[in-house]
């Protein structure tokens, strides 16, 4: 298998940056295919911490090509800042190692404004808790067919026509929200200015991927956010505005659906969420506090504290099935080291009835009560372990139970933020892509009673 797609299975921050960085050693190209600078991916390599937002996590390794695919929304000003910030840490970023898809849509300052205005004007219950980076409004303009694309930066007439059209829409919205109208010429001038810094990277990215395929090069697709933030499959409307599912790797980069390779799903050994929305296994108590402190659960981008709770195997099982996940990377197991007991959610109760899936209705999503299974903790250090056999027995039992409940193998275990503190049970690049499909179909036939045995 020459390609691997890494996706988050929860509400983001599962450790995608660390795992993509680890796997990128084996890849030639790393591709981001959705989201924007709402992502915050942390890599720790030899005591240097890299916090990436839009740049693919392969950028820190020499000799790799990084691609920002067409499915991503790009804030050019923020990207230029990030290139400079990461450059200061000794990473050279040039058009030789970074490509921006020419058909990717841009985030403009007016999108950031609108994102913030909407959040500020929403009541506490309606507030999504976005990062106010303009992600939602930029995707709205993309679907509304009025977005400015990266390639437009090189065509003054196109840019002028598109900005005029865009401002008819945005200025009427701004008027309604009491914000100052945008001047066409001012916006155009700022776009002309940033264009010279962005255009050297802007290329038909799909062609590079196609050529790479022909040369049997290995591609690593890096997801942002997580499955439960997916615009369709997540906890709508408390979601982000893109498809975070692995299938988007094909559409969001311009490669055939057969080429996204092995789908590696990431989950923490517990659950976190930033921003509003339902979270059935949330622990607003001493357990939640311990997870937050030990796990250093503060947003990479916003610094907001992340809500914490137990692992939700029922929700994960549903995602594994729907998304076609073939193997699991289990991260942050070390955060559970001091716990006497660990709970896993194996199903829910809704209006007194047991159900074995997470419903779509907003009311039901907020109302379900988790059914827990309790396991013994290991109360010894797993932090920094690099060998499966060194894991305490109780930790192995926990991992095996997760495999049973999800119906797919745990192939990677992460035991600290450091790149090398990782146990690779099965290398995703050395896996036959047809594996686990039978596991999926077996899983579909399982009932809650089977799962909670």
The binding site for ligand GDP (CB under 6 A) comprises 8, 12-18, 40-42, 44, 296, 300, 331-332, 334-335, 414-417
Phi, then psi, of 174 in degrees rounded to 5: -65, -40
Round to whole Å and give the CA distance between 356 and 452: 10
Distances from the Cα of 415 to the Cαs of 15, 233, 312, 359, 391, in angstroms? 11, 29, 20, 32, 10
Find out whether 339 and 294 touch, Cβ atoms under 8 Å: no
Give me the catalytic one of 41, 170, 233, 343. 41
Q: How many CB atoms lie within 10 A of CB 91?
A: 18
Q: Does 234 bind Mg ion (CB under 5 A)?
A: no
Is 37 a known ligand-binding residue? no
Residue showing tokens 């050297």:
200
User: Contacting ligand IMO (CB under 6 A), which of 5, 6, 12, 315?
Assistant: 12
User: Contacting Mg ion (CB under 5 A), which of 3, 4, 13, 452?
Assistant: 13
Task: Between 14 and 119, name the residue whose CB sits nearer to ligand GDP.
Answer: 14
Q: Which residues contact 264 (CB under 8 A, 6 or more apart)?
A: 4, 5, 6, 7, 19, 23, 325, 326, 327, 328, 329, 411, 412, 428
Q: Does 135 bind ligand IMO (CB under 6 A)?
A: yes
For residue 224, give the nearest of 8, 78, 51 by alpha carbon.
8
Q: Does 452 bind ligand IMO (CB under 6 A)?
A: no
Is 42 a known ligand-binding residue? yes
Which token pair is 78? 């923020």
Per CB under 6 A, the segment of 128-136, 310-318, 376-384, 441-449 that binds ligand IMO is: 128-136
* Residue 113 interacts with which of ligand GDP, ligand IMO, Mg ion, none, CB < 5 to 8 Å by class: none
Is 149 a known ligand-binding residue? no
Which token pair is 133? 């980076």
Which token pair is 65? 């090509």
CA angle 21, 439, 247 (to 5 degrees): 50
Find out whether 23 and 220 touch, Cβ atoms under 8 Å: yes
* Helical pair 156-176 and 109-121, crossing angle rounded to 10 deg: 20
Per CB under 6 A, the segment of 156-164, 179-187, 222-230, 283-291 that binds ligand IMO is: 222-230
Is 91 a known ligand-binding residue? no
Give me the catalytic one of 64, 142, 294, 343. 142
SS3 438: helix
Q: Does 275 bind ligand IMO (CB under 6 A)?
A: yes
Q: Smallest distance from the beta carbon of 256 to ligand IMO, in angstroms?
A: 25
Which token pair is 283? 């622990």
Round to whole Å and give the CA distance between 73 and 437: 33
Q: Does 417 bind Mg ion (CB under 5 A)?
A: no
Indicate if 142 belongs to the active site: yes
Q: Does 278 bind ligand IMO (CB under 6 A)?
A: no
Is 40 a known ligand-binding residue? yes
Q: Does 58 bind ligand IMO (CB under 6 A)?
A: no
DSSP 138: H
Is 361 a known ligand-binding residue? no
Task: Between 241 and 431, name the residue whose CB sits nearer to Mg ion.
Answer: 241
Indicate if 175 belongs to the active site: no
Q: Does 40 bind ligand IMO (CB under 6 A)?
A: yes
Round to whole Å and give the CA distance between 450 and 226: 27
Find out whether 220 and 24 touch, Cβ atoms under 8 Å: yes
Indicate if 13 belongs to the active site: yes
- Known catalytic residues are 13, 41, 142
Residues that bind ligand IMO (CB under 6 A): 8, 11-13, 38-41, 128-131, 133, 135-136, 224-226, 229, 240-241, 274-275, 300
Which residues are part of a known binding site? 12-18, 38-42, 145, 225, 240, 300-306, 332-334, 414-416
Which residues are part of a known binding site for GTP? 12-18, 40-42, 306, 332-334, 414-416
Residues that bind Mg ion (CB under 5 A): 13, 40, 300
């Amino acid at each position: 298998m020459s390609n691997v797609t890494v996706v988050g299975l929860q509400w983001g921050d599962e450790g995608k940056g660390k795992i993509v960085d680890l796997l990128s050693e084996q890849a030639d190209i790393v591709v981001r295919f959705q989201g924007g600078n709402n992502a915050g991916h942390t890599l720790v390599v030899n005591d240097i911490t890299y916090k990436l937002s839009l740049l693919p996590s392969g950028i820190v390794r020499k000799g790799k090509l990084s691609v920002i695919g067409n499915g991503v929304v790009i804030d050019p000003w923020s990207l230029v800042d990030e290139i400079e910030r990461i450059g200061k840490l000794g990473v050279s970023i040039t058009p030789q190692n970074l490509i921006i898809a020419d058909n990717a849509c841009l985030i403009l300052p007016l999108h950031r404004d609108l994102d913030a205005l909407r959040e500020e004007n929403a009541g506490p219950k309606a507030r999504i808790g976005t990062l106010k980076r303009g992600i939602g409004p930029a995707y709205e303009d993309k679907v509304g067919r009025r977005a400015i694309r990266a390639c437009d930066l090189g065509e003054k007439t196109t840019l002028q026509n598109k900005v005029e059209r865009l401002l008819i829409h945005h200025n009427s919205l701004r008027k309604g929200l009491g914000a100052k109208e945008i001047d066409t010429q001012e916006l155009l001038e700022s776009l002309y200015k940033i264009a010279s810094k962005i255009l050297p990277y802007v290329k038909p990215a799909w062609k590079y991927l196609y050529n790479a395929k022909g040369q049997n090069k290995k591609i690593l697709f890096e997801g942002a956010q997580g499955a439960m933030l997916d615009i369709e499959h997540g906890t709508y409307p408390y979601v982000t505005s893109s498809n975070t599912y692995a299938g988007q790797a094909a559409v969001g980069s311009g490669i055939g659906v057969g080429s996204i390779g092995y789908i590696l799903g990431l989950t923490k050994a517990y659950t976190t969420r930033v921003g509003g929305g339902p979270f059935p296994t949330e622990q607003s108590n001493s357990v939640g506090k311990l997870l937050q402190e030990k796990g250093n659960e503060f947003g990479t981008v916003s610094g907001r504290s992340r809500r914490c709770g137990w692992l939700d195997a029922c929700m994960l099982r549903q995602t594994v099935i729907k998304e076609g996940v073939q193997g699991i990377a289990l991260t942050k197991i070390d955060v559970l080291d001091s716990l006497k007991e660990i709970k896993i959610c194996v199903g829910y109760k809704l209006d007194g009835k047991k159900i074995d899936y997470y419903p779509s209705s907003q009311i039901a999503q907020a109302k379900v009560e988790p059914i827990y299974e309790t396991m013994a903790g290991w109360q010894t250090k797993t932090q920094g372990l690099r060998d499966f056999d060194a894991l305490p027995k109780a930790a192995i039992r926990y991992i095996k139970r997760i495999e049973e409940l999800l119906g797919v193998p745990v192939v990677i275990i992460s035991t600290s933020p450091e790149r090398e503190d990782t146990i690779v049970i099965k290398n995703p690049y050395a896996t036959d892509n047809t594996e686990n499909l039978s596991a999926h179909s077996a899983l579909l036939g399982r009932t809650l009673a089977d799962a909670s045995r």
